[in-house]
Structures are given as C-alpha cells and as structure tokens.
Structure 1
Amino acid sequence: MALDTNLGDAVGSLHETSGRWIVDAAAEPVRHRVGFISLGVMGAAMAARLTGAWPLLVWNRTAAATEPLAAAGAGVAGSPAEVFARCPVVILMLADERALDDVVRFDGSVDYRGTTVVQMGTVAPAYSSALGERLRAAGGRYVEAPVSGSRQPALEGALIAMVAGDDADVERVTPVLRPMCAQIFRCGAPPDALTMKLAVNTFLITLVSGLAEAFHFAERHRLDPALLERILAAGPMASTVSTSKAAKLAQEDWSVHAAIPDVLKNSRLIVDAARRSATASPLMEVCTQLFAEAERLGHDRDDMAAVVSAIRDRTARGEVRP
C-alpha cells in the first residue's frame, strides 16, 4: 500500500485517547497495520507495547513466539513479504546484518514502494547506510531508530530512541515509536543514530564491566555483596542500570535483560567503528575480551552481569596484571 502522508492521517480511523491509540469499530484493520518483524528478547517486549496501540501484524522465524501477541490481538503473517505488502510502516528488530539480509530482499520478491522501514536493531553504521540507500532506490523510505534500554524498559515503554532519517519520515513514524519509548532524540541522517547508539553502549558496557569488577573485588576481600549493593544505590553513581545490575551481581541472578552474546556483538561493533575511524578505545577492547570469555565459559544465555565470571576466571588462572 503506497502511503505519501503521515501514517496517523492515512489511518484516520486511529485516534489518541488518554495517551493510548485505539481503533474505531468501523476501521479496516486488515489494511492499516504497523508491521513488526522478529520477536526476540527485546522485540517481543517492544511489540507487546504496540498491541492495543496500533493494529499490529507480526512475523517471527519461530512461530511459537507470535502466540502471546496473537492472543493480545495482533495479526500473524506467514512471511516477511506479507508484512511489507500489508503494512505502511514496518519495524525491524533483527539480531544482525545476516538476519536483515534474509528478511529485506532486493530480488524483486518484495515491493517496498510507499513503505517506511524502521530499523531498530543495532548493526554496523555502514551497513545501515547502505540498507537505507537500497530501500530508497526501491521506492521505500528508511528511518534508523536504535534504542537504549533492555527488556524491562521495553516492557514498560521506557526505551530511549535515537532516530535518523528525512524529517517527513521521522514525523511519520514518531507516533508509532511513542508506545515503546519514553523519549525520542533526533540524530540527523543515517547512520548518525546508530553511531550515537554505539557511543551510548560504550558507556553502558564499560559501566557494567566496572560494576562487575567492583563486586569481584569485594568478593575477594570477603565483603558483604548485599551491603555493597546498598552503598552503591545510596551514592552519587547510582543509576537505573547500576542498581538493576548490582542486584543481579549480589544475588547471582543471570536471568536475561541484556544477553551476553548481544552485548558482545555490540562491543565488537564499537571496537570496529573505533578502529575504522582511528579512535582509541582501550576500555572497550578489554570489555570485548571479557564478554567473549564469559560467553566461552558457558554464559551464552545469561544476562550481561554474568561478565563477572570472566573476571573471576582470570583471578583463578592468576591473570591479575594487564
């Protein structure tokens, strides 16, 4: 379906009431949908925020992941091509470039004309730029919208979005992003939003790695981890991230909010971008090694706080100096 106006105008049967978007009974929900492709840890939580906010059509490689959303009223597509065919705005929350290549095809099997594609996953900035160029050449529109936050903020609609794209395209998709995001920051043209996301993740990853090292230091000196947690929460360095990850470290709770493999992927993207621009990244070099070691130690399904295992392993092996 071609769409040359703001999505909210095109689907006039949608309107906002008390901060929520609702669908009129006389609407044509089959025609006017937001598409969401890939329902991983983050994607499922984000898509859940859109059910009841917009008429939603979802697709996931593993069909079982669509069942909770279908029960909440979302439609389920049989293929990514169906999502692109039926939805004027399509959100992509795929894991990496390979997954994007599998879904966003340029072999003539998908018509992107009039479709605004919103790429919310974290991929290499250069890849994102190239993808946007190919989509525009195929008649589509492209917006980068990576987010800062993990599964819990996604469930709460408290993500922070960084967006890049033509002004009209950003305006078109902003109402769709609002149920998922507490704040939306414009970053210019692609790939500036993804590059900004890498800068944000540099702080996040070094912060959590430093926090893990602090708990390991306390552990080695036989200090009470629960007391350290309380002191950090009361101090000037406390943040949403530090308090949530400190609780995990104190309780040895590795249930996933941000998984080790995802953080490792992002770490490598940051280091690669730094090297390409001849930028020093000494802390991220070390963090990338630690997350790779944590994954090798069997924490491939655990939260990023489990990076402490790599620090413990270095101590056990006598690697106590750089």
Structure 2
Amino acid sequence: MATNADRAAEKVGFIGLGIMGQPMALNLAAAGTNLVVWNRSADRCEPLRAAGARVAASPSEVFARAGTVIVMPVNEAATDAVLGRGTAGFGPMLAGRTLVCMGSNAPGYSRGLAAEVRAAGGSYVEAPVSSSRTPAEAGQLVGRLAGEPAGVERVRPLLAPMCRTMVACGPVGNGLLTKLAVNLLLDQMLAALAEAVHFAARHGLDLRTFADAIDAGPMASDVTRVKLPKLVERDFAPQAAMADALNSSRLIAAAAREVGIATPLLDVDPPLFEEGVAGGDGRLDMVAVLRAIEARTAAGAAPGANDAPVGRREAAAQGVPRRPRSPRQAR
C-alpha cells in the first residue's frame, strides 16, 4: 500500500472538480498526495488550494507538472477540450503520462481515446465510479478499473483514498460497461423509490412511517438509507444530479442498441428524467424525479391506467383471444 511519502514523491494532476470530483480530490489531498488541480470554474479549486494542492492556470499546466493525471469532466466534449484532443498539442501533452479517466463516457469513446493516448506514448486507465457525493466525501466509492493490467495495478494505490473497493474489469471499455450495467439498476431503483413515495403520499400515509417500513425490510440498502430521507424531506440538494442520470440513461440505451439488447424497463425511465430536466430540475438530485411524477398526476396523466389487464368479458368484447387454460385449471 502506498504511504504518504510515496504519494508525495510524484505530483498527480486532477481535472474536473464537480459534485463528485471535488470531494474525490480532497480525499487525495488529505492522504498526502502531491496534487495539482484545474477546473473550468475556478472557485471550485479553492478548497483544494486550502488543502495544500497547487492550482494550475490551464489543463496543459497540469500535464506539464504531473506524471499521472486524473480527469473527471462532465462529458466527452469537456474531456476532449481539456485534453486538446484533435489539436497539435495533444500528443506532446500526453507523451510519457498516465491518463486516468474516471468520468461517465461511452465505452467506444473510451476505447478510441485509449488508442490515441497510447499512440502518443502515454498510458491509459479507465476508472469510472458509481455512486454519489456522500460516498465520494467519505472515500467509499467503488472503482471499475480497465486497461492494461500493469497500468491498472500501478494506479490502484493512488486511487485508494477515494475508493473502498476497486474491481478489475478487463480491457478498456469494460469498466464503463460495468458502470452502465450498475447504473441501469440504480436509475430504475431510484425512479421506483420516488414513485413509491408518491404513491404513499397520495394515499395519506405518514412518509416517515413508510420509510421505517422500507428500512426494516429486505429491500433496505445504503441507497434507500440515503435517498429515502431526501424524498421524505423533499431535500433535492444534489448528490448525483438528474441531468447526469439522464446522460447515463442515454449512454446505456446507446450501448444496448449497439448489440441489439431489449431494455423494456430502461425505456420507461428516460422520459421521466427528460421531463424533470425540461422542467428546470436538471441540477437537482436525481430523486427530484419525484416532481416529474407529481406533475403527471397533477396533469391527470396516469400512464398505464388505460392499459390494465383486461378481464374475460372485456377481452371477448375487444376480440382479444383468451389464453388456453392450464391442465390444472381445466380440472
């Protein structure tokens, strides 16, 4: 395991100090990592400066000063911009550097970037994390590492202050695919949790009692213990923003289409997130999808209400063929 002296020996760069990136970088600084940081909005750098990190004037300065650079911009376009991808400066900036990409990008994008970094004489490790601000602050993230085995093992000690667990997922692309599969479950869990809270509230149930019932049962988890209180209190301060959840849903859908995977449940969630973002809630926590569900109720739109299973008489009236009875039913 790397000691504080080991971490201080090599300067490490960190670019992208958003909701997740800032607490992640602060954990590195607290562990004694010799950090140089940059963020498009300079005010996000100030807590890092106070923690002892050097604040660079540009992304190129980060690469000039650091041998390993972690990037966590908001999307692929922002990643390309900070790397100068497609410009003459990209190759010289990446030569001899290890680039650790921890953001949410398409797997194909990551594979293409990895090839360009290697062609420039650099090393590339894919290390997306799945979680939200609270685990990021606590250094309890789960990292999905992908890339050349030697490169993956080299960055493990560096990432340890941010991640309680790191899973080696194989070649570049697999780390992001693993994250997308996890997010496919997470996004639907949180949308379902918001819908359950809405159902309980509209029936006049005490929401704290409802939350206690969830927490006492087999469906309780770290997710429900963090998100249920936010829903009950209508605390939509962002831990993981709805706009990011929508972006994740789109990445999952695109990855599914590439290989012809059916995603019947995934197809339901993005419209809700889209409605929330369109309604101005994009920077709120993703559990603010509750407001999109409430808006549908207020508008008298109850999708599925007219799609309830038809009974035998209704089926006959509509010309719907009845299913044959099972042998047990026939007796």
Scaled by the length of structure 1, the TM-score of the pair is: 0.90
The aligned counterpart of 1:248 is 230
SS of alignment partner, residue 205 of structure 2: coil
Structure 1 residue aligned with 2:140, among 152, 155, 158?
158
Amino acid at match of 2:14: F
1:231 maps to which residue? 213
Aligned pair partner of 1:109 in 89, 101, 112: 89
Alpha-carbon separation, structure 2, partners of 1:88 and 1:172: 12
Residue in 2 that maps onto 1:64:
43
Aligned counterpart for 1:313 among listed residues 292, 295, 298: 295
Query: In the TM superposition, what whole-angstrom CA distance separates every residue of 1:174-225 from its partner, at most 9, and x where no partner exists?
Result: 1111000000000000100001100000010000001001001111111111
For 1:184, the equivalent position in structure 2 comes to 166
Q: 1:15-54 to 2 correspondence within 5 Å?
A: 16=3, 21-22=4-5, 32-53=10-31, 54=33
Q: Which runs of 5+ in 2 are unaligned?
A: 305-331
**Residue 142 of structure 1: CA displacement?**
0.4
Residue 321 of structure 1: how far off its partner (Å): 2.8
Structure 1: tracts of 5 or more residues without a match: 1-7, 9-14
Residue 108 of structure 1: how far off its partner (Å): 2.6
* CA deviation vs aligned residue, 1:129-175 (integer Å, no higher than 9, x gap): 10000110111110000001100100100000000010110111111
Q: Which amino acid aligns with 2:62?
A: V
Is 1:73 paired with 2:52? yes
- CA distance in structure 2 between the partners assigned to 1:136 and 1:227 by the alignment: 55
Output the CA distance in 1 between the equivalents of 2:267 and 2:158.
36
Higher helix share: 2
Residues 1:218 and 2:200 aligned together: yes
Q: Return the letter of the residue paired with 2:35.
A: L
How many Å apart are 1:228 and its aligned residue? 0.6
TM-score, normalization by structure 2: 0.88
* C-alpha distance in structure 2 between counterparts of 1:321 and 1:166, whole Å: 47
Does 1:273 find its partner at 2:252? no
Q: In the alignment, which residue of structure 1 is the partner of 2:320?
A: none
Q: Deviations over 1:54-108 (max 9, x none)?
A: 1001001111111110011001111111111211110000110110110112423
Q: Report the CA distance between 1:298 and its aligned residue.
A: 2.0
Contact 1:22–1:52 (CA under 8 A) maintained in structure 2: no
3-state secondary structure, aligned to 1:226? helix
C-alpha displacement of 1:295: 1.2
Q: Aligned letter for 1:82? A: E
Q: Secondary structure at the match of 1:41?
A: coil
Supply the AA of the counterpart residue of 2:88: G
Which moves more between the two structures, 262-271 or 100-109? 100-109
Q: Which moved more, 1:210-219 or 1:279-288?
A: 279-288
Q: Which residue of 1 aligns with 2:149?
A: 167
Pairing 1:207–2:207 present: no
| 8 A Cα contact 1:45 1:151, kept in partner | yes
Letter in 1 for 2:72: M
- The answer to whether the Cα contact below 8 Å between 1:42 and 1:150 also exists between their aligned partners in 2 is yes
In structure 2, the CA distance between the partners of 1:23 and 1:167, relative to structure 1 (3 Å rule), is closer
Q: Percent identity at matched positions?
A: 48
| Count of residue pairs brought into register by the alignment | 300
